[in-house]
A and B are shown apart, each in its own frame.
Chain A
Amino acid sequence: MSNPLFFIKKESKRMRKIITGDSIFKKMTLIFALLVLALAFMIFYDLYSRSQPAINEFGIDFLTGETWDPVHEIFGALPFIYGTVTSSIIALIIAVPISLGIAIYLSELAPRRLRSPLSFMVELLAAVPSVVYGLWGLFVMVPWIRDFLEPFLESTLGFLPFFQGPKFGIGMLAGGVILAIMIIPTISAVSREVMLAVPGTQREAAFALGATRWEVIKIAVLKYAMTGIFGAIILGLGRALGETMAVIMVIGNRPQISLSFFEPAYTMSGVIASEYIEATQEVYLSALIEIGLLLFIVTLMMNIFARLLVWRMMRMFRGAKE
């Protein structure tokens, strides 16, 4: 007790204990955060190593080959790439104007009391499971497309090669329409978010100059939110490229490249989901996994690009507000 430092020593021991407990907890949470990061690399590594046989066998021809013949072990993925890209583009053409209209209405025009229930309803569109869209698409939307939309398109735009041919209902067009329904919530929610992030002073300045509401939206909001909206569209595209079940049920699943949107097609995710069970030979399975690898890389890149755009824009406005 005569030692005046006794008290301090005891305290410092306690301090050390506190610090150890804290650092153990910090390290534990760090490990889980690392796990999130590791997951992306593990997915890439596993897909890559399992698709080696197909990569070695076909090389770059895999991407340009038009023949998909499992019996003779000839695998060219072009019909699937074509089906995925074309159906996603159709979806974008339909979904982008509608989503921008929704975002403009919900962020700028709607009466305050309606904003939150309406955006909730649009969000619910994203909550409906993909397979339920497929079910509805198959039994309700496809007959409608066959009986109304396709005859209408043929009679008005029939001079284009896209709108000619037999009308099955099931086909590329049905795939594009169902994808459009599914990506509208993504594009409209992110666009609305970036529009709301545009500082109010921008709008006020335009109003003060005598602009109408649409002119304010055009000059003050859309111009500033353009980068973010572009990001939102890429996010939607990423979702459309990887969507599986709803498309599988309405697109017809025939590996062909046809200009006509009325014809059946096949998507990348579709061929993986419906053929993996038959893929007993190693090359066949690894060809399917290589399609998965392609899909993973493309959607990953698009998401990285889109998130960077949205993040950069949001950060810019946060800077402007402060």
Chain B
Amino acid sequence: MMAKRISKRRKIIDKLVSSLALLSVIIAIIPLAGVLIFVASRGLSAINLDFFISLPKPPDEIGGGIGNAIQGTLILIGLASMIGIPIGVLSGIYLAEYGDNRFGSLVRFMADVLSGVPSIIMGLFAYIVIVLTTRSFSAISGGIALGIMMIPVITRTTEESVKLVPNSIREASMALGIRRWKTIVFIVLSTAKSGIITGIMLSIARIAGETAPLLFTAFGSDLWATGLNQPISALPLVIYKYAISPYANWQAQAWGAAFILVSMVLILNIGVRFIARGRYRK
């Protein structure tokens, strides 16, 4: 009798905990769904062709677009990639191929730790090193701040995908008399390619929406980009500026810009998932 009651209580607790766990998942998905629904519904109504290709207008005029912000974001991503990809990939190769020692562990650890440093600190760093010395906000400084943020992600994903390449492939190549560095560059890297590309796409998705580091560096602009040493606009900067403005016209455009930005980031994330799935199926 006693045993039966206890076991009933245990079963109820078991059920209760299971449903609480499921409830947490649902609670977490509500804001995600909320953000996506609002961005889609309010964003789509602000978007037309003009929105993509024209320059911003003052708040009292109807129309205007964020063409220069889209251009600026693409330029900044390009600049950041020029810094982040080579450093990230090469340091990742070092960790995978030669990093089985204390120094390697230290670099690996530091890369993990750096990926947790707030983005505003990276912006402040680029501001001190570049903006204060050149005395001008610039696309370059924004690209550097974002590029630094790409490094840890690319380093670690490159390392992991290079490590996944079976040793037999390396041995086969070296048995044919191919030098180790050529083996790494032409054979190991091409085998690990999809993993490395995944890491690069993820890091781009991560920096595309960064705002805080750009405040100090790219600064924003209402014109088309004219040079890399000039301030430049970017989608997140426009969203911030328009969202906190008191003008309904600008606020509507903030949702439109958010729609474009979120679509970009989601496409990158979903793309990564498909590449990764293809790789594991093999």
The answer to whether B124 and A32 touch across the interface, beta carbons within 8 angstroms, is: no
The answer to whether A21 and B179 touch across the interface, beta carbons within 8 angstroms, is: yes
Q: Which of B90, B106, B128, B205 meets A46, CB within 8 Å?
A: B128
Q: Does B169 contact A (CB under 8 A)?
A: no
Contacts of A227 in B (CB 8 A): none
User: CA–CA, A132 to B13, complex, Å?
Assistant: 39
The answer to whether A104 and B87 touch across the interface, beta carbons within 8 angstroms, is: no
The answer to whether B22 and A214 touch across the interface, beta carbons within 8 angstroms, is: no
Contacts of A75 in B (CB 8 A): none
The answer to whether B24 and A109 touch across the interface, beta carbons within 8 angstroms, is: no
The answer to whether B106 and A132 touch across the interface, beta carbons within 8 angstroms, is: no
Q: Does A93 contact B (CB under 8 A)?
A: no
Q: Does B221 contact A (CB under 8 A)?
A: no
Q: Does B18 contact A (CB under 8 A)?
A: yes
Within 8 A of A (CB), among B26-78: 27-29, 31-32, 34-35, 38-39
Contact with B along A1-45 (1 / 0, CB 8 A): 000000000000000001001101110111011111101101100
User: CA–CA, A100 to B25, complex, Å?
Assistant: 10
- Shortest C-beta distance, B155 to chain A (Å), equals 6
- What is the size, in residues, of chain B's interface with A at 8 Å between Cβ atoms? 88
User: CA–CA, A21 to B204, complex, Å?
Assistant: 33
Binds B, one of A120-128, A153-161, A196-204, A258-266: A120-128
Judged by DSSP, the binding face of A is: helix
Contacts of B244 in A (CB 8 A): 138, 249
Shortest Cβ distance from B97 into A: residue? A29
- What is the size, in residues, of chain A's interface with B at 8 Å between Cβ atoms? 87
The answer to whether B124 and A47 touch across the interface, beta carbons within 8 angstroms, is: yes
Contact with B along A161-182 (1 / 0, CB 8 A): 0000000000000000000010
The answer to whether A36 and B124 touch across the interface, beta carbons within 8 angstroms, is: no
The answer to whether A124 and B254 touch across the interface, beta carbons within 8 angstroms, is: no
Shortest Cβ distance from A242 into B: residue? B118
Q: Which of B14, B31, B87 meets A36, CB within 8 Å?
A: B87
Binds B, one of A52-60, A61-69, A298-306: A298-306
Q: Does A235 contact B (CB under 8 A)?
A: yes
The answer to whether B211 and A30 touch across the interface, beta carbons within 8 angstroms, is: no
Contacts of B261 in A (CB 8 A): 129, 132
- Shortest C-beta distance, A248 to chain B (Å), equals 8
- Shortest C-beta distance, B279 to chain A (Å), equals 14
- Shortest C-beta distance, A100 to chain B (Å), equals 8
Contacts of B236 in A (CB 8 A): 129, 131, 245
The answer to whether A242 and B121 touch across the interface, beta carbons within 8 angstroms, is: yes
- Shortest C-beta distance, A109 to chain B (Å), equals 6
- Shortest C-beta distance, B69 to chain A (Å), equals 12
Within 8 A of A (CB), among B7-28: 10-11, 13-14, 17-18, 20-25, 27-28
Which one of A120, A122, A129 has the highest number of Cβ atoms from chain B below 10 Å of its Cβ?
A: A129
- Shortest C-beta distance, A286 to chain B (Å), equals 10
The answer to whether B125 and A132 touch across the interface, beta carbons within 8 angstroms, is: no
- Shortest C-beta distance, A228 to chain B (Å), equals 14
The answer to whether B31 and A30 touch across the interface, beta carbons within 8 angstroms, is: no
The answer to whether B121 and A101 touch across the interface, beta carbons within 8 angstroms, is: no
The answer to whether A296 and B121 touch across the interface, beta carbons within 8 angstroms, is: yes
Which one of B28, B29, B32, B215 has the highest number of Cβ atoms from chain A below 10 Å of its Cβ?
A: B28
Q: Does A76 contact B (CB under 8 A)?
A: no
Q: Does B228 contact A (CB under 8 A)?
A: no
Beyond known contacts A33-B94, A212-B10, A214-B17: 20 more, CB 8 A cutoff: A18-B179, A18-B180, A26-B94, A26-B97, A28-B90, A36-B87, A36-B152, A46-B129, A98-B28, A101-B22, A102-B28, A105-B24, A120-B273, A124-B266, A213-B14, A245-B211, A272-B120, A292-B121, A299-B117, A303-B113
List, sorted by A's number, 16 A–B pairs whose CB atoms are closer than 8 Å: A24-B181, A29-B97, A50-B128, A99-B28, A101-B21, A101-B23, A105-B25, A127-B265, A188-B28, A212-B14, A215-B14, A235-B116, A238-B116, A269-B118, A292-B121, A307-B109
Return the 10 tightest CB-CB contacts between A and B, nearest first: A129-B209, A242-B118, A101-B24, A25-B181, A29-B94, A105-B21, A303-B116, A32-B90, A244-B212, A212-B14
